[in-house]
Amino acid sequence: MKACEGRIGRVFVIRLEDGDVVPECIEHFAEEKGVSVGQAILVGGIGGGDVVVGPRRSEGMPPEPILLPIDESHEVLRVCVLAPDKDSKPVLHIHAALGRAGQTMTGCLRQGVTTWLVGEVILYEIVDAKVLRIKDRQSGFELLEPGSN
Amino acid sequence: MKACEGRIGRVFVIRLEDGDVVPECIEHFAEEKGVSVGQAILVGGIGGGDVVVGPRRSEGMPPEPILLPIDESHEVLRVCVLAPDKDSKPVLHIHAALGRAGQTMTGCLRQGVTTWLVGEVILYEIVDAKVLRIKDRQSGFELLEPGSN
Amino acid sequence: MKACEGRIGRVFVIRLEDGDVVPECIEHFAEEKGVSVGQAILVGGIGGGDVVVGPRRSEGMPPEPILLPIDESHEVLRVCVLAPDKDSKPVLHIHAALGRAGQTMTGCLRQGVTTWLVGEVILYEIVDAKVLRIKDRQSGFELLEPGSN
């Protein structure tokens, strides 16, 4: 466990429109506004894309992702952590539960998904927190490294 | 994508009691306290109600909702966005994952659900954000419109 | 419904490492930092433990929990409420959706779960909120009691 401390900055209320692709559009917004570290929640629909629904095997690095496609529009809740990579680009890590007709798929949205009708986002900026996403050689993931910057 | 900026205001720690109906009871609380825009998370149980688990078809407006009833008590996580409608009434948009015995149903709670035993809510007020829910003719939904007030 | 008011304090950006056990490690961190009341979101993997996936029956107190084991690593989203018990120890109530290969299990993580590879946590401190977790005789649960301290 590693941690660093910050404080809350600006809060953004965002409406995603039909077809907007997540996480790209929120990352672009954050970059444009100069939001480097933050947290977001999202409420809304997703109509397409692919979801990382686990590593094929729990052991063995790097993990081989299981990818499932999204068919038809889903009702979704998402929580997200924003932190900059080594080039200072804000990268959004999103986990989501996507539901349709009583079935739910939960996973990571890093492959990109398309908004269906509307997405409501609250993005909190966190200032004074020294944290980076640094590529981990073993897993190949950009892991959160509090205390770095 | 549309956005507006605000800052954090008061924070409310709320305990829902057995039988409390969501979103109504939180909307009443927000109105009483003068919270117009906000974000909330909820942890707790749901014992009854109906969940919107997607549009029957992804194409074609307005969408026809698929409704599923809640049978027996479920363990639930919820994220919510609060924004006022054209009459300045705060309206809470809640998406939730409801689990029981290893099955999960994810959807929108706008039809109303009943608290089982307890619900724990953290409600963040967002001040200075110009945003309204405005009825969209095509979908029939009250969509978030940042920049309006 | 019962409520109390506070305001936001410090924000912590936390990286859980492979094998870290939740909620214990976050509760220890909160205690060490003097965070008494708070809210957290978590994004990351879980590799083992047990999940409370509902009461066996919705009627009858105390509820008998249904416990399901976690097999293989899951992609998870979590929302959490932190409040002190009668001995001033911060207790974290976590609800989570755990997904793998298109199936999702949603429940309460109070039995303890083990981090797989990484967990990203944003912990918000809430100051000036008078709230305790007090043991409820009927249910046996430590229920949130706003207004107490």
Q: At residue A92, does pLDDT exceed 70?
A: yes
Q: At residue B148, does pLDDT exceed 80?
A: no
Neighbouring chains of A at 3+ CB pairs within 8 Å? Answer: B, C
Rounded to whole angstroms, the Cα distance separating C40 from C11 reads: 10
Query: What pLDDT does B113 receive?
Result: 98
Query: What pLDDT does B149 receive?
Result: 60
Chain C residues closer than 8 Å to A83 by CB: 13
Mean pLDDT of B115-138: 97
Chain B residues closer than 8 Å to A6 by CB: none
Mutate to test the interface with B, among A16, A72, A77 (most CBs of B within 10 A): A77
Put simply, the answer to whether B120 touches C66 (Cβ < 8 Å) is: no
Which tens digits make up the pLDDT trace of A98-132?
Answer: 999 999 999 999 999 999 999 999 999 999 999 99
Mean pLDDT over the full length of chain A: 97
Query: What pLDDT does A148 receive?
Result: 73
Exposure letters B36-71 (e unless 16+ CB within 10 A, then b) = bbbbbbbbbbbbbbbbbbbbeebeeeebebbebebe
Give the count of beta carbons closer than 10 Å to the beta carbon of residue C88.
10
* Vertex A78 angle, CA C109 and B66, to 5°: 100
Q: What is the DSSP string of A64-116?
A: PEEEEE--S-EEEEEEEEEEE-TTS-EEEEEEEEEEETTEEEEEE-TT-EEEE
Query: What pLDDT does B131 receive?
Result: 97
Q: How would you class A123 by CB atoms within 10 Å of its CB: exposed for 0-12, middle for 13-18, buried for 19 or more? A: buried
Q: Which two tokens stand for residue C67?
A: 């416990």
Query: What pLDDT does B130 receive?
Result: 96
Q: At residue A73, does pLDDT exceed 80?
A: yes
* Vertex C115 angle, CA C110 and C117, to 5°: 165
Query: What pLDDT does A149 receive?
Result: 60
Which tens digits make up the pLDDT trace of B10-30?
Answer: 999 999 999 999 999 999 999
Put simply, the answer to whether A75 touches B129 (Cβ < 8 Å) is: no
Chain C residues closer than 8 Å to B100 by CB: 53-54, 66
Q: What is the DSSP string of B54-87?
A: EESSSSSSSPPEEEEE--S-EEEEEEEEEEEBTT
Q: CA C51: distance to chain centroid? A: 12
Query: What pLDDT does A43 receive?
Result: 98
Mean pLDDT of C32-41: 98
Q: Confirm if A31 and A90 have CB atoms less than 8 A apart.
A: yes
Of A5, A93, A146, the CB nearest to C10: A5
Put simply, the answer to whether B73 touches C94 (Cβ < 8 Å) is: no
Check: pTM over 0.90? Answer yes or no.
Answer: yes
Per DSSP, the three-state class of C72 is: coil
Mutate to test the interface with C, among B11, B17, B80, B103 (most CBs of C within 10 A): B11
Mean pLDDT over the full length of chain B: 97
Q: At residue C2, does pLDDT exceed 70?
A: yes
Mean pLDDT of C42-68: 96
Q: Which residues contact B79 (CB under 8 A, 6 or more apart)?
A: A41, A42, A43, A77, A78, A79, B39, B40, B41, B42, B94, B95, C79
Query: What pLDDT does A40 receive?
Result: 98
Query: What pLDDT does C22 receive?
Result: 98
Mutate to test the interface with B, among A80, A118, A120, A125 (most CBs of B within 10 A): A120
Q: Which two tokens stand for residue B83?
A: 């924004």
Q: Which amino acid is at A10?
A: R
Query: What pLDDT does B116 receive?
Result: 97
Which tens digits make up the pLDDT trace of B53-81?
Answer: 999 999 989 999 999 999 999 999 999 99
Give the count of beta carbons closer than 10 Å to the beta carbon of residue A80.
25
Q: At residue C149, does pLDDT exceed 90?
A: no
Rounded to whole angstroms, the Cα distance separating C60 from B12 reads: 31
Greater pLDDT, B127 or C148: B127
